[in-house]
Amino acid sequence: MTFIVPIGPQHPALKEPAFFRFEVKGEEIADVDIRFGYVHRGIEEALQRRDYKHDVYLIERICGICNVVHTTTYCQAIEQLAGVEPPERAKYIRVIILELERIHSHLLWLGIAAHQIGFNTLFMLAWRDRERVMDLREIISGNRVTSATNTIGGVRRDVKPEHVPTILRGLDELEHSTKYYIDLFNSDRTILARCTNVGILTKDDARKFCAVGPLARASGVDTDIRRDHPYAIYDKLSFNVITEREGDVWAKSMVRLREILEAIHIVRQAVKEMPIGPIRIKVNLEIPRNEAIERTEAPRGELFYYALSNGTDSPERVHVRTPTCANFASIKRMFLGGTVAEIPIVIWSIDPCFACNDRVALVDSHTGKTFNLSLKELRKWRH
Amino acid sequence: MPRILPQVLRNLLRKPATVKYPQVRVEPPKGYRGRPVVDPERCISCWLCIRTCPARAITISKETKKPSIWLGRCIFCGECAEVCPARAITMTKEFEFTTLR
Amino acid sequence: MEVLSFILGSLVFPGLLFASLIGLLYIGIDRKVTGHMQNRIGPPIWQEFLDVGKLLSKEDITPGAAQSPIFTAAPLVALGAAVTVMLLIPVSSPQPTLTMVADLIVIIYLLNIPAICMMLGGYSSGSPFGATGAGRHVAQLFGYEFVFIIAILVAVVRVGSLGLPTIVNYQAQQGWLILDWRLLPAAIAALVAIQGKLLRVPFDIPEAESEIVHGSLTEYSGPKLAIWRLAYDVETIVVAGLFAALFLGGPTAYVIGGVQIPSIVDFLIKTLAIVLLTTTLRNIMARLRIDQALKFYWTSATLLAIISLVLVLVVP
Ligand code: SF4
Ligand code: SF4
């Protein structure tokens, strides 16, 4: 007997609305149907109606957790359009905040992953340590979450020399606790029981479904935009790309935890080697027709921006492809053959961010069918 | 023995990491981007802030021709404070805007 | 007179009122200690009173698919069963309020009623989460109940009586059963079974909130949910009290430095210790999957209990 377990649109396992319709035989998952679009906000269209500078703040709100990587990618794309290069110090500051963001995103992930497998103590401890990163970001940028640091042509706020010891001290504490969590994931029997051999994505599947970021790296695909197509100053820093072979939830956790250590290492280098100099340059934002593509490594994987200018001070088109969007192709493969108990941790193992992911889907509310519109029909529909 | 047990028992004796918020307040650090306030004395009515505000949160009052900030729209980016030539706008550390009425 | 004292016993002491007050208080302590274990402040100790009080005053929403008498009756029957067991275990003296022959068997039966009510409530709620939770609960019941019964059997065999008062009196003369090395494995197995009975991590599988919302209780709200909470809190005290009577010597009166300490204090201390032990256990582990939990119960835990049983039978 199969019956339907609806996970979503509102469900404790989901931090944002999405709809997973599981067909379940007893405890075993037979099929899954995934539906998104509950938090579509029409940001790409809104971006075309504002000017380049105001867009930065709208871009920042695509995703709360990884706002800096969004603005960095956008600013880099626009700088590329305008043919300017931000000052060296600005690039260092961008990297510092980007890596602090990676640490906080991965710690947040760790906390919720622990909650999904019912380990609430680890959840609370991970979030306690995440507060350290939030404090550092607050000192540097003036706010815990939305940093409002990036602007086209550099950054708005300098990392002051008196902040450097505080940052280093905070990093030391974080390193200590991250090592503890790695140890815990290696040795705690209940965590191992829940995470190993669950939600496996093989290397071939990861390649086939074009997985990105930690999801791909946990399956043994050696990919990292920071190393493969260095932006900002990543080519001057030394860091390892973390990969694991197993492809299960445990490997995904391990990749993220060990990436925190790498991120701490990167911030230390960047803070020490930061050159003295200006932090922003003036950019003429009446950009002639040009197009640009920019890729960065967000905490969740490859983030892709496409920007097209048309001679005015607002973009003709900005397109965003977020890592979650790329990773959802793999999720069905990870569910099949699993049990209901694995649903939350497997959904969370790709670190989904539905709000950045949502696109418009046209669904006939009577039959439940989705359909596509041609460009001509879409134009007609708009008027 | 579970690996986390010593940590859990040690936590029993430690000071909690959280605070009782409304009674105990944590002061935000220097440079925090809280509520922006306009000093009408210093303002020279150049209206640069209005053009800069990405959230279109700044309006001009009819009588005084001075800007006023609509906190319902403000996103606390600090652009207005940065752009103001007379330094009439400052970002305070205030972050609690809900009120009991 | 007899009838009056019985009514008083079931409604006030050690029945409904006393059991609810202590249950709510202990769960409050449990939540506070959990908070500190997780390095946060945690709710105030009387938070559980506030929660249940608020739930009682809320509107009762019953989904259309759950309009059956079973759905309404389930929490009340569960609470009733838990309170009845309270009358059967020794609280303020080795002698419980109600005595009967072979009361342990009655206790074992009655202690299953809250779990069965929860399943019925879950199945009749018409929600897939309720059904899944109830299904898991059935499976888990078969896991822990077996271990629990064997562990109790060990104590029964050791003392040679099915009556709780006899077991408590035996311990008053011969020392606590848990201090006997032959019974220690059984006590540990019983503790593990209690963890599953009280649906605490790592065995909170039937109400795993991140998986199936709240399991069988998903569709309950308002006063009905409050009664469920109350039933759960009373059940906690009852199970802890039973464990104390079986292995920790039950309520005994002491004289320390000339001051007479009544046995009710002893009861409170021992049950609190057991509740805190389960609190610690639930804070140091992740939730298991149902198959892993069953495997654990049917291998390690059963083995522990059976070893103890064999030891008690073989070693004089
Ligand atoms: S930018 Fe400054 S001076 Fe100009 S209108 Fe705004 S507040 Fe007044
Ligand atoms: S802080 Fe930003 S959003 Fe708020 S008024 Fe100033 S410019 Fe506008």
Contacts with C198 (C-beta within 8 Å, 6 or more apart), sequence order? C232, C235, C236, C239, C278
Nearest to A74 by CA among A361, A366, A373, A298: A298
* Domain contains A256: yes
User: Tens of pLDDT along C98-128?
Assistant: 777 778 888 888 888 988 888 888 888 888 8
Nearest ligand 1 atom, CA B80? 1
Residue of A57, A130, A149 to mutate for B, most B C-beta atoms under 10 A: A57
Cis amide linkage into residue C14, ω under 30° from 0: yes
Contacts with A154 (C-beta within 8 Å, 6 or more apart), sequence order? A86, A87, A90, A278, A279, A280, A281
Residue C62's region, left for phi above 0, alpha for psi from -120 to 50, else beta, is: beta
Nearest ligand 2 atom, CA B79? 7
Nearest to B55 by CA among A316, A50, A355: A50
* Chains with ≥3 CB–CB distances under 8 Å to A: B, C
* Domain contains A355: no
Between B and C, how many residue pairs show a Cβ–Cβ distance under 8 A? 33
Say if pTM beats, i.e. exceeds, 0.80.
yes
B3: exposed, middle or buried (Cβ count in 10 Å: 0-12, 13-18, 19+): middle
Strand A150-151 relative to strand A154-155, pairing: antiparallel
Ligand 2 pocket, residue B88 CB under 6 Å: no
Q: Are A52 and A152 in contact (CB under 8 A)?
A: yes
* Domain contains A94: yes
- How many Å apart are CA C27 and CA C48, to the nearest integer? 7
Q: Which domain, by its residues, includes C144?
A: 2-314
pLDDT for A367: 66
Domain ranges of chain B: 5-91
Q: What is the A49 CA–ligand 1 centroid distance (Å)?
A: 25
Strand B36-38 relative to strand A154-155, pairing: unpaired
What CATH number has the domain bearing residue A196?
A: 1.10.645.10
- Residue C302 in this model has a pLDDT that exceeds 60: yes
Q: What is the DSSP string of C87-121?
A: HHS-SSSSS-SS--TTHHHHHHHHHHHHHHHHHHH
- How many Å apart are CA C136 and CA C139, to the nearest integer? 5
pLDDT for A264: 92
Residue A139 token pair = 């000192």
Asked whether the CA dihedral C106, C110, C111, C116 is positive or negative, the reply is positive
Residue A57 token pair = 């703040």
Residue A220: how many other CB atoms lie within 10 Å: 18
Question: CA of C69: how far to CAs of B30, C62, C77, C137, C219, in Å?
Answer: 62, 11, 12, 21, 14
Question: Do residue A139 and residue B55 have CB atoms under 8 angstroms apart?
Answer: no
pLDDT for A222: 87
User: Tens of pLDDT along C229-240?
Assistant: 899 889 899 899
Q: How many domains does chain C have?
A: 1
Nearest CA in chain C to A190: C286
ipTM: 0.86
Distance from CA of C284 to the nearest CA of A (A): 7
pLDDT for C68: 81
* Chain centroid offset of residue C153 CA: 18
Q: A-chain residues within 8 Å CB-CB of C201?
A: 118-120
Smallest Cβ distance to C128: which of A4, A27, A341? A4
Q: Sorting pLDDT into bands at 50, 70 and 90, what band is C268?
A: confident
- Over residues C269-278, the mean pLDDT reads 90
Nearest ligand 1 atom, CA B89? 7
- Over residues C24-42, the mean pLDDT reads 90
Distance from CA of A184 to the nearest CA of B (A): 6
Q: Which domain, by its residues, includes A199?
A: 42-321
Residue A26 contacts C, CB cutoff 8 Å: yes
| Tokens 């899954």 belong to residue | A32
pLDDT for C1: 67
Ligand 1 pocket, residue B36 CB under 6 Å: no
pLDDT for A372: 64
- How many Å apart are CA B65 and CA B43, to the nearest integer? 10
Residue B55 contacts A, CB cutoff 8 Å: yes
Ligand 1 pocket, residue B89 CB under 6 Å: yes
- How many Å apart are CA C285 and CA B22, to the nearest integer? 32
Point out the residues of chain B with pLDDT beneath 70.
1, 99-101
Q: Which of C77-86, C172-181, C265-274 has the lowest average pLDDT?
A: C172-181
Second CATH level (architecture) for the domain B5-91: 2-Layer Sandwich (3.30)
pLDDT in tens, chain A (383 residues): 677 888 878 887 787 788 888 888 877 888 888 877 777 788 888 888 888 888 888 888 888 888 889 999 999 888 888 888 889 888 899 899 989 999 999 999 999 888 888 888 889 999 999 988 998 888 888 888 888 888 888 888 888 888 888 889 999 989 999 999 998 888 888 888 888 888 888 888 888 888 888 888 888 888 888 888 888 888 888 888 888 888 888 898 989 999 999 999 999 888 888 888 888 888 888 888 888 888 888 888 888 888 888 888 888 888 888 888 888 888 888 887 788 788 888 888 888 877 666 665 566 666 666 666 666 766 665 55
User: Relative to the alpha carbon of B36, which ligand is closest?
Assistant: 2
Question: Do residue A148 and residue B2 have CB atoms under 8 angstroms apart?
Answer: no
Question: CA of A315: how far to CAs of A54, A78, A236, A291, C244, in Å?
Answer: 11, 9, 32, 10, 73
Q: What angle do CA B54, B58, B62 make, to 5 degrees?
A: 150
| Tokens 């950045």 belong to residue | A356
Residue of C199, C289, C299 to mutate for A, most A C-beta atoms under 10 A: C289
pLDDT for C29: 92
Q: What is the A151 CA–ligand 1 centroid distance (Å)?
A: 21
User: Tens of pLDDT along C174-215?
Assistant: 878 777 788 888 888 888 898 888 888 888 888 887 777 888
Q: Are C216 and C122 in contact (CB under 8 A)?
A: yes
DSSP conformation class of A85? -
pLDDT for A382: 55
Distance from CA of B92 to the nearest CA of C (A): 29
- How many Å apart are CA C59 and CA A192, to the nearest integer? 43
* Domain contains A338: no
Question: CA of A57: how far to CAs of A63, A148, A300, in Å?
Answer: 11, 7, 21
Q: How many domains does chain A have?
A: 1
Q: Are A346 and A356 in contact (CB under 8 A)?
A: no
Q: What is the A320 CA–ligand 2 centroid distance (Å)?
A: 25
Question: Do residue A138 and residue B82 have CB atoms under 8 angstroms apart?
Answer: no
* Chain centroid offset of residue C68 CA: 27
A298: exposed, middle or buried (Cβ count in 10 Å: 0-12, 13-18, 19+): buried
Nearest ligand 1 atom, CA B86? 3
Q: What is the A307 CA–ligand 1 centroid distance (Å)?
A: 32
